[in-house]
């Protein structure tokens, strides 16, 4: 068959020519070599490891008993012998045929025919006598099939068979073609050594009727013709000694059918085969082979080469992809395609011992069609405390057709919670996931071990999916306001007697996923009038809570790191703490790495409680660090907002002015700096930590309505001690109903 049908639209003309026709063979330029006998061809083929390897851009465009012709991207051509794999270069512009060892190279009206079997020397045929509009349509053996404009002034073209005999050019017009055949409406296709089949359309009453015609090459006459109402410019026609078949044009849904008829019989059988855009078909004895050559991004049952028995209807798939299908003999095909097992190459299709068609690799392109991962980049650890810690997981694929996407799944080993995503594959073959530390439920990923799995399927569904697995550890550390072992701040809200813990990344709306579901840390919290979040004061791994009950007793609630039950039972620290109007703590104030407390008594004196890291006695005896603090009604240890080595403090006076006290690193503070007014609008001001992961602590506040509003105000840290907080950053909704919660910590 004429290979060009897979790369351009055409009106197909199928011709079968006998090598014993009156047209002479052309001289050869190739080295000699013989092909194994057809009956033993499959058995005699070399093992896959020893077959010749072709350039990866090879394209099958001709084939005969001794070898085959390939075209390359640079415009060159080469002939490869079956017997020994020897390759002979041929001129640019060469054209092959089927079932014959001839190749024609054309330059203008000069056509040189080569016999690649070595039986004769090249012959040059000048077709200028046919006129300037004559074009080469095909090669049949050593005969040129020429399309020639009519000389009588009528629209349309005629076909001529032109060859050389005893040094004389022989021109034989084909008779019996319709005079209504439209101009430039045909091309030829060679199927077997004695006939030529044509597909053309005829203009009838300003309409088009498609026809299939069979031409006997020896007599140059049309011996069979029939209408093909569902044909079109891209229709493929195939011919054998017993059957004629063609591929219908896809209907509006893309469905394709094969039309099959016995030679010289009127009835046609229509065989639906699926949906396709560029289907090739070829007859092989009592089998009809077909396959879609356009392997696009969508899977299709028509990919690969399938053979259908014309006697039983049985189908056998022998290749996974197909590029070109050509007749090799009455019982064989030569096909460029691929299998998952052996990759891309040239395959001979022939009946096996039981008559079932099988594929044997004749020459390899050295290309696998199996999707592969050729490069991978997955970090061993991740730290999501700041955006700088976001991790990129990426894989690069290779294959003839890249996948459109890859699915990536990360699973927390301890909890089973997941992060799953489907990412696109870019033009360079990379699938990349940037993980910002959120899970599928938009909660922050907990610390600990994770397993990951990446899966990708071939875009066209040909071949197996590819999968890669591995492990990754998340270590985002601990923070004073983190109670779920994620490194991300949590929000503490008391409602009646219960304490609720919210994941701040979900609660503050950065994921835009609506109201989160809090963890209920249990009842009994109404007994405390102060709840502090200084950090890990007990010396264990996790952050603790410090509370003061209404009798003035101080308690530690050790953190567990369990998001579902974040605090263990309270441990008594000591009494007498009701002498203080305010107590605060958020991290280290003296540079020893342990969290400390600051307290202002009713006389206005400020006291420093150095953390010890000892759960039995978590704070050293107090040390007085200032006086006159009774002008403030709110003290908030903020952590390091001023750029120093240790934490700082903000204080709100009774007029609502907020003042910054930069820590000196020894538990004392520098002179105050005014940073803003109007803060008496808020009932609670909480140093929640770094909520937006920019590396700077933030403040969270709620209004003075007697209950926690359904919206919270966020003030982002700037890192500039002169203006440490940006203007209010909108508001976020975390509560299902006003009044449910009463206090924010």
pLDDT exceeding 70 applies to what percent of the chain? 86
Mean pLDDT of the chain: 85
Quote the CA–CA distance of 255 and 402 in Å, as a whole number: 26
Residue pair 532/480 in contact by the 8 Å Cβ criterion: no
Angle formed at CA 51 by CA 47 and CA 57, multiple of 5 degrees: 140
Does the structure show a pLDDT above 50 at 703? yes
Quote the CA–CA distance of 183 and 154 in Å, as a whole number: 9
| Prediction pTM value | 0.79
Residue pair 431/405 in contact by the 8 Å Cβ criterion: yes
Residue pair 255/272 in contact by the 8 Å Cβ criterion: yes
Q: Which residues contact 219 (CB under 8 A, 6 or more apart)?
A: none
Quote the CA–CA distance of 108 and 126 in Å, as a whole number: 9
pLDDT at 643: 81
pLDDT in tens, 162-191: 999 988 999 999 888 776 665 434 444 555
DSSP lists the bridge partners of residue 388 as none
pLDDT at 154: 73
Does the structure show a pLDDT above 80 at 310? yes
Listed range (148-152, 222-226, 454-458, 715-719) with the worst mean pLDDT: 148-152
Quote the CA–CA distance of 22 and 235 in Å, as a whole number: 30
Among 414, 412, 376, 370, smallest CA distance to 394 is for 376
pLDDT at 216: 86
Residue pair 435/394 in contact by the 8 Å Cβ criterion: no
Residue 593's Cβ-count burial label (10 Å; 0-12, 13-18, 19+) is: exposed
Strands 135-140 and 143-149, bridge-based pairing: antiparallel
pLDDT in tens, 673-684: 999 999 998 888
| Mean pLDDT along residues 561-590 | 94
Does the structure show a pLDDT above 50 at 566? yes
Q: Which residues contact 621 (CB under 8 A, 6 or more apart)?
A: none
Listed range (152-156, 227-231, 322-326, 431-435) with the worst mean pLDDT: 152-156
Does the structure show a pLDDT above 60 at 29? no
Backbone angles phi, psi at 162, to 5 degrees: -120, 125
Q: How far is CA 146 from CA 134, 184, 237, in A?
A: 6, 12, 19
Does the structure show a pLDDT above 90 at 199? no
pLDDT in tens, 577-620: 999 999 999 999 999 999 999 999 999 999 999 999 998 899 99
Q: Which residues contact 43 (CB under 8 A, 6 or more apart)?
A: none
For residue 365, count other CB atoms closer than 10 A to its CB: 20
| Mean pLDDT along residues 708-736 | 75
Which position has the higher pLDDT, 699 or 22? Answer: 699
pLDDT at 201: 61
The H or E element spanning position 210 is strand 207-216
**CA atoms within 13 Å, Cβ hemisphere of 80:** 21
Among 570, 640, 635, smallest CA distance to 608 is for 635
Does the structure show a pLDDT above 50 at 548? yes
Listed range (157-166, 431-440, 620-629) with the worst mean pLDDT: 157-166
pLDDT in tens, 459-506: 888 999 999 999 999 999 998 999 999 999 998 988 888 999 988 888
Q: Specify the residue for token string 């910002």.
A: 436
Does the structure show a pLDDT above 60 at 669? yes
The H or E element spanning position 173 is strand 168-173
| Mean pLDDT along residues 92-118 | 93
Quote the CA–CA distance of 420 and 403 in Å, as a whole number: 18
334, 277, 232, 2 alpha-carbon torsion, rounded to 10°: -20
Quote the CA–CA distance of 547 and 561 in Å, as a whole number: 18
DSSP lists the bridge partners of residue 80 as 68, 87
Quote the CA–CA distance of 312 and 293 in Å, as a whole number: 26
* pLDDT-derived band at 709, boundaries 50, 70, 90: very low
For 459-553, strand residue ranges (E) read 466-474, 490-495, 498-503, 519-520, 528-535, 544-549
What's the sign of the alpha-carbon dihedral 74, 33, 39, 52?
negative
Listed range (4-18, 111-125, 138-152, 277-291) with the worst mean pLDDT: 4-18
Joined tokens for residue 129: 């006598």
| Mean pLDDT along residues 309-326 | 96
* pLDDT-derived band at 209, boundaries 50, 70, 90: confident
Angle formed at CA 103 by CA 97 and CA 108, multiple of 5 degrees: 110
Quote the CA–CA distance of 380 and 360 in Å, as a whole number: 46
Joined tokens for residue 202: 């005829």
pLDDT at 202: 65
Among 309, 332, 335, smallest CA distance to 320 is for 335
Does the structure show a pLDDT above 60 at 38? no
pLDDT at 236: 83
Quote the CA–CA distance of 700 and 714 in Å, as a whole number: 5
Joined tokens for residue 653: 């006076």
Does the structure show a pLDDT above 50 at 8? no
Residue pair 371/458 in contact by the 8 Å Cβ criterion: yes
| Mean pLDDT along residues 22-41 | 29
Backbone angles phi, psi at 150, to 5 degrees: -70, 145
Does the structure show a pLDDT above 80 at 742? no
Quote the CA–CA distance of 513 and 738 in Å, as a whole number: 19
* pLDDT-derived band at 707, boundaries 50, 70, 90: very low
pLDDT at 189: 53
pLDDT in tens, 358-416: 999 999 999 999 999 999 999 999 999 999 999 999 999 998 778 889 999 999 999 99
Does the structure show a pLDDT above 70 at 555? yes
Residue pair 706/724 in contact by the 8 Å Cβ criterion: no
Q: Specify the residue for token string 């089998």.
A: 287
């Amino acid at each position: 068959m004429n290979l060009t049908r897979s790369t351009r639209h055409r009106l197909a003309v199928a011709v079968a020519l006998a090598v014993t026709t009156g047209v002479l063979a052309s001289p050869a330029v190739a080295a000699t070599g013989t092909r194994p006998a057809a009956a033993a061809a499959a058995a005699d083929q070399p093992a896959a490891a020893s077959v010749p390897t072709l350039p990866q851009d090879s394209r099958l465009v001709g084939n005969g008993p001794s070898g085959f012709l390939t075209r390359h991207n640079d415009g060159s051509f080469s002939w490869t012998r079956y017997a020994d794999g020897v390759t002979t270069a041929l001129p640019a512009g060469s054209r092959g045929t089927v079932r014959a060892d001839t190749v024609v190279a054309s330059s203008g009206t000069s056509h040189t025919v080569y016999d690649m079997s070595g039986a004769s020397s090249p012959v040059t045929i000048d077709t200028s006598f046919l006129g300037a509009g004559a074009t080469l349509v095909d090669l049949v053996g050593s005969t040129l099939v020429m399309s020639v404009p009519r000389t009588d002034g009528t629209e349309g073209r005629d076909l001529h068979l032109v060859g050389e005999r005893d040094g004389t050019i022989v021109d034989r017009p084909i008779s019996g073609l319709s005079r209504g055949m439209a101009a430039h409406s045909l091309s030829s296709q060679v199927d077997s050594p004695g006939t030529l089949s044509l597909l053309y359309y005829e203009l009838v009453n300003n309409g088009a009727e498609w026809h299939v015609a069979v031409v006997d090459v020896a007599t140059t006459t049309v011996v069979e013709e029939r209408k093909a109402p569902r044909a079109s410019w891209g229709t493929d026609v195939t011919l054998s000694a017993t059957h004629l078949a063609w591929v219908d044009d896809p209907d509006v849904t893309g469905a394709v059918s094969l039309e099959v008829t016995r030679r010289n019989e009127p009835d046609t059988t229509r065989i639906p085969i699926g949906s396709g855009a560029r289907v090739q078909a070829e007859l092989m004895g009592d089998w009809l082979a077909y396959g879609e050559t356009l392997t696009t991004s969508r899977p299709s049952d028509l990919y690969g080469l399938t053979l259908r028995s014309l006697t039983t209807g049985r189908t056998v798939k022998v290749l996974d992809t197909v590029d070109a299908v050509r007749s090799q003999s009455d019982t064989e095909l030569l096909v460029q395609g691929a299998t998952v097992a052996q990759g891309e190459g040239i395959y001979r299709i022939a009946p096996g011992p039981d008559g079932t068609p099988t594929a044997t690799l004749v020459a390899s392109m050295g290309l696998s069609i199996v999707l592969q991962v050729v490069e991978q980049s997955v970090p061993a650890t991740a730290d999501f405390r700041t955006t700088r810690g976001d991790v990129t997981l990426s894989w690069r694929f290779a294959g003839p057709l890249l996948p459109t996407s890859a699915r990536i799944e990360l699973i927390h080993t301890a909890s089973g919670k997941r992060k799953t995503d489907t990412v696109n594959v870019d033009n360079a073959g990379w699938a990349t996931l940037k993980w910002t530390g959120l899970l599928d439920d938009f909660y922050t990923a907990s610390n600990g071990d994770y397993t990951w799995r990446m899966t990708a399927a071939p875009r066209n569904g040909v071949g197996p999916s590819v999968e890669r697995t591995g492990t990754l550890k998340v270590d985002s550390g601990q923070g004073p306001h983190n109670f779920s072992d994620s490194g991300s701040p949590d929000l503490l809200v008391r409602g009646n007697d219960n304490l609720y813990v919210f994941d701040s990344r979900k609660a503050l709306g950065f994921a835009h996923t609506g109201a989160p579901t809090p963890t209920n840390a249990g009842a009994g919290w109404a007994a405390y009038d102060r709840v502090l979040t200084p950090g890990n004061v007990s010396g264990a791994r996790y952050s603790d809570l410090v509370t003061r009950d209404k009798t003035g007793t101080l308690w530690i609630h050790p953190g567990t790191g369990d998001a579902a039950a974040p605090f263990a039972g309270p441990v008594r620290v000591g009494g007498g703490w009701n002498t203080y109007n305010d107590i605060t703590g958020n991290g280290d104030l003296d540079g020893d790495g342990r969290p400390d407390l600051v307290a202002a008594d009713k006389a206005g004196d400020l006291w420093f409680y150095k953390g010890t890291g000892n759960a039995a006695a978590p704070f050293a005896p107090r040390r007085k660090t200032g006086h006159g603090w009774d002008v403030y009604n709110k003290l908030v240890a903020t952590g390091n907002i001023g750029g120093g080595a240790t934490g700082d403090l903000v204080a709100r006076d009774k007029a609502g002015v907020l003042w910054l006290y930069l820590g000196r690193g020894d538990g004392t503070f520098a002179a105050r700096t005014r940073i803003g007014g109007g803060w008496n609008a808020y009932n609670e001001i909480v140093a929640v930590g770094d909520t937006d992961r920019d590396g700077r602590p933030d403040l969270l506040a709620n209004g003075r309505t007697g209950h926690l509003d359904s919206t919270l105000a966020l003030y982002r840290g700037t890192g500039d001690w002169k203006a440490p907080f940006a203007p209010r950053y909108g508001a976020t909704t975390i509560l299902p109903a006003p009044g449910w919660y009463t206090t924010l910590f």
